[in-house]
Structure 1
């Protein structure tokens, strides 16, 4: 359990966050017993809402999934309709943008860690994979496993907000590494202790790649969580950097994980065929970055603006305005478009899987730092104001919002 000091810190963050939003006009006072309507964010003609509560409460984490509301959702009639292409980027787009091989992931096992249960996880993933011509991945075939946080078949309570997160995670892993086995580990609640236990379960079940798309404010307890949940040599653990613009979150701040920032991804007529910039919606929403207050700097990070751990390491698409296609029917109405750094984390976990099993005892978070030339350097955009500026503004080489860049093939994720 998180210490009282840590819980108090997260509770204070929640109160402060609500007050700040109220002052900025993003939320208004809600009468007792009433339910606040989710705030709608808009950019470039696209509107979206947060799938999960994003204010830290005690030691509770928030998922980083953002669901687009300006694109009509629809259930596939009679299964798959190939000519009815869903909105949002699909697998072929992502493989093209990041120069990745098709049909990868054979022999690899990728785990997704989320909170609560999505009762339609398997069937919704099946529709996504069928729509895009990806191989089936089912429990019956042994390709897909869905377990509770201790690895048992007893699943936690259903939660429609986290179900959107689960669908996003499963679909992104399917898009990048369609031949990998997938383990969905569902924590009984969104506390760091339960989610961390789920990470350990994922590793114990054989996953060499574990994606985590959630976070909260840092606390003095985080270094103990590092050793209890995230120190798994030879396992690539990816964590989304957060959707609250400039500022550090945990567990993205853990020295043992690959912290994944977010970009806006657009098709262009360039040689690559794509361009990317830092994802920013406004002063309160965009990819996270910054300096950890508690976690030590890993030896492979050489930037000088943070005496401790710097967020992020690498990045991938996260802007809902340039979002990805997702199929979700529990808490959703079928095809939808999602964004947030919840998209970028499973994408990078999939890319690690394409690179092959990490060597025994290795620190996969260090791999990109040994292959900086094998990444797309993102050099435009920012996620806030800071000093030194590279912590919040894209620049040539390493920067906080996009790290070393986005995948350009799999070389930077091998080791």
Structure 2
């Protein structure tokens, strides 16, 4: 369903995500799922993409909005081929890598908690920190299997139990109800599994609050963000976005202006171009990288995630949001996306356990839907933000230090030659990867 025209085409430039045509709306209903028990028994139809490595993937159904004005999730599910994780494990063991099945796998085929913690210098922090902190995941619609799928993931990887019974996990509607939940949707359920698993992978000692919006409208998702803060979460992850509009500055103050709360938002999956709410000046916008092992001292290497002219991490200049005081780049007169980044390339994707509307089992996911909860969890490992702070500023104080891995290769599209850093990685700040990726927690604390 992803269009393949130039990213500068007016048809997608910013974001076909908020659609109005009835034909697209009908297709979206089919792809995104009807939220019924009958639909839940069948896997959604996905149109695969491929890379030269023959890894194939497709946008999850929630990446196609159901209704005019809806926002879309930013995730992809691998459908075939051999991921970087499998190749690396094959090199370590001498065994041929297993080909990722089109359905579910019996065991993980993407990066797990130990990989992510090691890649981002978080192994010790993940073991010692996070107790008493709550990460909120904001998504649309209900995942009836959220708790059981989360338990499967955490049990497999030996993470501490996080259940309703022990008080670690809680699922609520946008009004805070634990019993009156939104209608179920298998496409958004995949997104919720991805988000919950990434929060768990990076901060296994954290509590997790899943807030499910009634729909994918900005109004309902925004109310879910407010509810997460009301319920005490100091770290709120949002893995969705849509085209910018003149209403965004009012959305900023209504939904995202929460001092003392680290709010992360995925930068988008359609290459160069800004989207909202990643463009909000009150959030940490999170770009995406391709993550692979290497012979360097770090043991890992990253580059900008970019598959094609219309697929890769988002970046660019907001048309409406003012530049926050902590941003000093000169290529955008207004807010620049992104701030920081983490793994998002499906070919170097992360393992997720999911069972609602698909064959129960292990899948590999990518997209900036993966990087946003990863960064929210890093903030949680770093500790509670200052009560008057906007934590999006924290990484800027650490710019150029060893607290961030500077990503210096790759691009996500075409932009002005006078401000090439907006779409091309370089030393220091750039649009696709921001200030870089975490190396420990020091860049995420005040």
Instruction: Give the SS at the match of 2:237.
Output: strand
Looking at structure 1, the residues matched to 364 and 404 of structure 2 have their Cα atoms a distance apart, in angstroms, of: 26
Looking at structure 1, the residues matched to 181 and 141 of structure 2 have their Cα atoms a distance apart, in angstroms, of: 8
Partner residue of 1:97 out of 114, 119, 127: 119
Looking at structure 2, the residues matched to 196 and 34 of structure 1 have their Cα atoms a distance apart, in angstroms, of: 22
Which runs of 5 or more structure 2 residues have no equivalent in the other structure?
1-10, 18-22, 32-44, 81-99
Which aligned pairs between 1:80-229 and structure 2 lie closer than 5 A? 85-100=107-122, 101=124, 102-103=126-127, 104-153=129-178, 154-229=180-255
- Distance change >3 Å, CA 34–CA 193, structure 1 → 2: closer
- Distance change >3 Å, CA 395–CA 55, structure 1 → 2: same
Partner residue of 2:293 out of 267, 270, 273: 267
CA contact (8 A) 2:74 2:266 kept: yes
Partner residue of 1:404 out of 422, 435, 439: 435
Deviation (angstroms), 1:39: 2.8
CA contact (8 A) 2:63 2:75 kept: no
Alignment-derived partner of residue 329 in structure 2: 303
- Distance change >3 Å, CA 16–CA 303, structure 1 → 2: closer
- Distance change >3 Å, CA 311–CA 148, structure 1 → 2: same
Partner residue of 1:51 out of 57, 60, 67: 60
Deviation (angstroms), 1:337: 0.2
- Number of aligned residue pairs: give it: 388
Looking at structure 1, the residues matched to 244 and 58 of structure 2 have their Cα atoms a distance apart, in angstroms, of: 24
Looking at structure 2, the residues matched to 193 and 121 of structure 1 have their Cα atoms a distance apart, in angstroms, of: 23
Instruction: Give the SS at the match of 1:210.
Output: strand
Which runs of 5 or more structure 1 residues have no equivalent in the other structure?
1-11, 19-27, 77-84
Instruction: Give the SS at the match of 2:176.
Output: coil
Deviation (angstroms), 1:40: 1.5
Deviation (angstroms), 1:142: 0.7
CA contact (8 A) 2:14 2:244 kept: no
Looking at structure 2, the residues matched to 262 and 105 of structure 1 have their Cα atoms a distance apart, in angstroms, of: 24
- Distance change >3 Å, CA 408–CA 188, structure 1 → 2: same
- Structure 1 length-normalised TM: 0.90
CA contact (8 A) 2:15 2:242 kept: no
Partner residue of 1:378 out of 391, 396, 407: 407
Can you list the C-alpha shifts for 1:65-113, whole angstroms capped at 9, x where unaligned?
111111224475xxxxxxxx51100000000000002323111010000
Looking at structure 2, the residues matched to 408 and 33 of structure 1 have their Cα atoms a distance apart, in angstroms, of: 39
Tell me whether 1:68 sits opposite 2:95 in the alignment: no
Looking at structure 2, the residues matched to 47 and 197 of structure 1 have their Cα atoms a distance apart, in angstroms, of: 36
- Structure 2 length-normalised TM: 0.83
